[in-house]
Each structure stands twice: as structure tokens, then as C-alpha cells.
Amino acid sequence: MKSKLIFLAILLFTQISCYSQAEAVRGVWLTNVDSDVLTSKEKIVHAVKFLDEIGFNTIFVVVWNKGMTQYKSKIMKEFTGLELDTLLKDFDPLPVLIEEAHKRNMKVIAWFEFGFSSSYKQNGGKILELKPHWKAIDVNGNLVSKNGFEWMNGFHPEVQDFIISLIKEVITNYKVDGIQGDDRLPAMPVESGYDDYTINLYRSEHNGKNPPEDFRDSQSVNWRAGKLNQFMKRIYKEVKSINPGLIVSMAPSIYPWSKEEYLQDWPEWLKTKNVDLICPQLYRYNIKDYEKLLIDIVENQIDKEDLKKFYPGILLKVGSYYASPELIKNKIELNRRYGINGEVFFFYEGLKKYPDLFKELYKERAKFPELVN
């Protein structure tokens, strides 16, 4: 009888613990730049085990970068002849990562990092060499290039179909838990929109008028941002039609800069219920600037009912820069103060500098939240 009571007490305690377990996205971006994790099974196993040990529960893994896929793609093999990122040779990292993460109850979100970009400092690369009519064109008739990235025309239906086909390929062939776009998906540089297709589309909706030569004209910006909003709606619909349980996540730039420079009107995506998880890139190097952004988002950009979908992106490492332990801790404390129960860090390699810090910050385990629109 005594042993039975002890068993029941343990069972009750376990149930209470499970019930009271915090819900949060404790995420990290896993890149193929400045990181070799995705190059072998051994490195993936080590990385996932490490992330689990320090309290993370979500991995946003790159699957589309530099005009190549980080998984075996029949679509890209037929299109460019490259089934897989050349650095990976014949190794497909995605199924290994998914298996190892799911063993530990961790989510894997397929991150389409390159978005509508076609290349970086390669004049459009292989994609635009094969499909020159896919080029994004500026008011001077040149290929759109911004911060070194050359761009496909994200307003063109063929380009949109191409990106959708990659998304569908991943969610159909791999057991990912969701997908993510970022500051390049859905996004287009504000300088874009002067290719023949987009000009004719504008004319058809404006009584034959040409788009204004001023690419920052507010009406023109709103019109083009609206087209990307429509594509965001399509992404959401396409993903949910295949698997309603998949997460549609986005990691845009900060607003309104995101709209002013890349036509990303992401608060609208939340209002229209076309995104499950929003992780704006609040990449700031001091706590005052970070708090200013956080307050603006919480008070002015996101409705209270949508705050449960908001998990800010935090800069941990870029190049030789590492955020200090104090800054990391202060940002997490600020998030909690404003009712935000998690965050996503850029990027994985930075975590290795502070394993004990994250073990302490995330010592209480958290399960991935229920995200319901």
C-alpha cells in the first residue's frame, strides 16, 4: 500500500510538472556560413546534443542559400544541374538533423535564408544566367543589387512559383516542423519594380500609368508591398494545405525600415493571420537601442493577442563580434519584463563561447508553444 501511494505521488508530481512547464521558443539559427556543422553526421549529432544540453528547443536550419539548396533537391538538379550545395558534396544534412533533433523533442524549422536573392556579388549567378527574364530591374534598367546581393524579381509569377516549389519540396520530402522566411523572403529591395512584367502589371492596375520614377513614392511602395503581402498569404496557404500543423515563421527586418527598404510590411502579416511565428531581427549592440525597438513593437506594431507569436531575433555573433554575457542576459531579462517568453539567436557558433551562461539562463526546460491562428 505504501509503495502504491509513493507511486501515485510521483505520478501526480510528474503530471503537475508537465502541466506547469513553461512554453517558449528557445531558438537558434544554424547557418552554412562561418559554420561547418552541416558538413557531416558527427558534427550534426554533436551540435544537436549541445543545444539540448544548454536548453534550446528549436533549430532554424538553412536550406536555401547562395542560390543552392542545403538538401538534395530534384528541382535544383533539373534547373541548374546542382542537386545540393557543392560544399556538401553528396551529404544531405537535413534528415540527420531532423532525426537527432526529434529524438530530443526539438523542433526543426527549414529556413529559406536566400529568399528572392539569386547570388551574392556574382552578377545574378547561375539562376539569372538560365532565366534572364527573372531579373529584378531598377529605374535605370540595371539588375537590382543591394548590399552585394543580386535579386530575382519577386513580383514575377514564375519566380514566386519557383520559391513555392522549393518550400513544397522540403515540407513534402522531409519531416520538418515548419518553414521560415527572413529579410529576403518575402522581400524585395525598394529600388526594384522596373522590369517589363512589373511595369505592365502596374499599368494594368493604374489606368495605363507608368510607375513613378521615384521608387520611394509612398503609393508605389504600398502597391509593391501589397504584392508581397499577397505572396505571404500564398506561402501560408500552400504550406497549410499540405500540412495544417506545420509552422509558418518569418524573421523580417525591423519595421518600418523593413517596408521602407525591402517592402516588408510584416505587421500586416500578423493582422491577416498569415504567419504563426514572427522573429524580427532586433540586432542591436547595446541594451538601450534594443529596448527602444522592443517597446515600439510591443506597444505599437503587434496587437496584444499576437504577442504570443513574437520571439525576437537577438544578435549573438557576427564576424569577430560576440555579444557580451551581460548584454545577452539583459536582453533576455527585458524580453521577460515585456511578457516575451523566448527568443532566437543568430547564430549557432556564438553559443559555444557561453555554454554555462545559457545553461543557467535556460536551466528550467521549456516546451515549444502551441501556435494557433
Confidence class of residue 20 from pLDDT cuts 50, 70 and 90?
low
Average pLDDT of the segment spanning 267-276: 98
Q: Are strands 107-111 and 58-62 parallel, antiparallel or unpaired?
A: parallel
Average pLDDT over residues 195-203: 99
Going 86 to 87 to 90 to 94, the CA torsion angle's sign is negative
Domain boundaries, the chain: 22-367
Kindly report, residue by residue over 328-365, the tens digit of the pLDDT.
999 999 999 999 999 999 999 999 999 999 999 999 99
Provide the pLDDT for residue 12.
41
Alpha-carbon span 117 to 364, nearest angstrom = 39
CB atoms within 10 A of CB 12: 10
11 pLDDT exceeds 90? no
CA dist 171 to 26, 49, 176, 277, Å? 22, 24, 6, 17
CATH of domain 22-367: 3.20.20.80
Mean pLDDT value across residues 258-264: 99
Could you write out the DSSP letters of every residue in 177-229?
Answer: SEEEE-TTTT---TT---SHHHHHHHHHHTTTPPPPS-TT-HHHHHHHHHHHH
Mean pLDDT calculated for residue range 254-277: 99
pLDDT of residue 218: 99
The pLDDT mean for the chain works out to 95
CA 189 to each of CA 104, 115, 126: distance values in angstroms, whole numbers, following the listed order: 39, 12, 20
Distances (CA, A) of 279 to 143, 337, 343: 30, 18, 8
Which amino acid is it at 339?
G
pLDDT number for residue 373: 53
Q: What is the mean pLDDT of residues 35-45?
A: 99
Average pLDDT over residues 304-323: 97
Query: Are 323 and 316 a contacting pair, CB within 8 Å?
Result: yes
pLDDT category of residue 370 using cuts at 50, 70 and 90: confident
pLDDT tens digits, one per residue of 150-191: 999 999 999 999 999 999 999 999 999 999 999 999 999 999
Give the H/E segment covering residue 31: none
| Confidence label for 21 from pLDDT (cuts 50, 70 and 90) | confident
pLDDT tens by residue, 222-234: 999 999 999 999 9
Pairing of strands 178-181, 107-111: parallel
**What is the pLDDT, as a whole number, of residue 116?**
99
Q: What is the mean pLDDT of residues 193-217?
A: 99
Give the per-residue pLDDT at 14.
43
CA distance 357 to 346: 16
Percent pLDDT > 90 in the chain is 93
Q: Are 154 and 127 within 8 A, CB to CB?
A: no
Q: What is the mean pLDDT of residues 267-281?
A: 98
pLDDT for 282 equals 99
Q: What is the pLDDT of residue 333?
A: 98
Coil, helix or strand for 119?
Answer: strand
